[in-house]
Amino acid sequence: MFHKEGHKIILITFVFVVLFVLLVDNFINISWLQSMLQIGLILVLILILQFFRNPKRHTELNDNQVLAPVDGKVVVIEEVFENEYFNDKRLQISVFMSPINVHVTRYPIGGNVVFSKYHPGKYLVAWHPKSSEENERTTVVVENQTYGKVLYRQIAGAMARRIVNYAKLNDKITQGKDSGFIKFGSRVDLFLPLDTTIKVKLNQKVRGGESVIAEI
């Protein structure tokens, strides 16, 4: 199963690969070079297919818990001052996605979207300390009556050139459902209340829509 954001790219890549495999077969007579080029083209298609995969996730809905919004590795757990929406101290949990991770973004909690904003910006590497404030990004805040408000921020990386965000103001959304996509690598930051209990550790690998990041 592939994400809808990849359908056009997958189709174009497939046509490109088939065309060039045929051209190589017809115009290159050196067998080892022919094989290398054809294998290389097929590998490109495989990489595109794996990047846009959208596996089903079994989300256990729980308003007391915050789930991982993406697949990846936890690279930041720290207390920070969040200056875009809350303007106070929050716990920041950041998940870094490599190009081989699933890049679907999922709602960390269910409830209502109370804030959603896109920011154009730079393309610093996703682990750069200033990427959260200077890179292209979107900021979304979801609120429910049990947990309160959770802010998550999609951040473009050095390779990413398009962030897709489906969250719209006043949307009623379900925990774990598709909230967007980041093309070709980056990270997602979560900003949580200080009294929340963190359930992950640095360098831990998490699965979007399934791994519990925090709970009340």
Please report, for the domain that includes residue 70, its CATH number. 2.70.70
**Exposure string for 96-135, b = 16+ CB within 10 A, e = fewer:** bbeeebbbbbbbbbbbebeebeebeeebbebebeebbeeb
Instruction: Describe the crossing of helices 31-51 and 7-27 by its angle, rounded to 10 degrees.
Output: 180
Residues 133 and 194 in one domain: yes
Question: Tell me, what's the pLDDT at 35?
Answer: 87
DSSP bridge pairs for 180: 105, 165
- Could you report the per-residue pLDDT of 68-81, keeping only the tens digit for each? 999 999 999 999 99
Residues 101 and 166 in one domain: yes
Residues 127 and 37 in one domain: no
- Could you report the per-residue pLDDT of 2-26, keeping only the tens digit for each? 878 878 888 999 999 999 888 888 8
> Range of 69's domain?
65-215
Within 13 Å, how many C-alpha atoms sit on residue 84's CB side? 19
Q: Do strands 148-156 and 162-165 pair parallel, antiparallel, or not at all (unpaired)?
A: unpaired
The catalytic site residues sit at 186
* SS (HEC) of 119-131: ECCECCCCCCCCH
Mean pLDDT of the chain: 89
155 found inside a domain: yes
Question: Tell me, what's the pLDDT at 145?
Answer: 92
Q: Which position has the token pair 């990413």?
A: 160
Nearest to 52 by CA among 105, 2, 1, 106: 2
Query: Is pLDDT of 147 > 90?
Result: yes
173 found inside a domain: yes
Q: Which position has the token pair 């598709």?
A: 178
Residues 108 and 196 in one domain: yes
Residues 13 and 115 in one domain: no
Residues 21 and 125 in one domain: no
56 found inside a domain: no
Q: What is the pTM of this model?
A: 0.85
Residue 192 has a CB neighbour count (10 Å cut-off) of 26
Residues 70 and 13 in one domain: no
Residues 135 and 210 in one domain: yes
Residues 102 and 170 in one domain: yes
Residues 39 and 96 in one domain: no
Structurally, how many domains does the chain consist of?
2
Residues 131 and 211 in one domain: yes
176 found inside a domain: yes
Question: Which tokens hold the place of 204?
Answer: 């831990």
156 found inside a domain: yes
Contact residues for 184 (Cβ-Cβ < 8 A; gap 6+): 51, 99, 103, 157, 159, 160, 161
For residue 90, the surrounding DSSP H or E stretch is strand 88-97
22/158: higher pLDDT: 22
- Could you report the per-residue pLDDT of 44-56, keeping only the tens digit for each? 898 888 878 888 8
- Could you report the per-residue pLDDT of 27-38, keeping only the tens digit for each? 888 888 888 988
60 found inside a domain: no
59 found inside a domain: no
Residues 46 and 92 in one domain: no
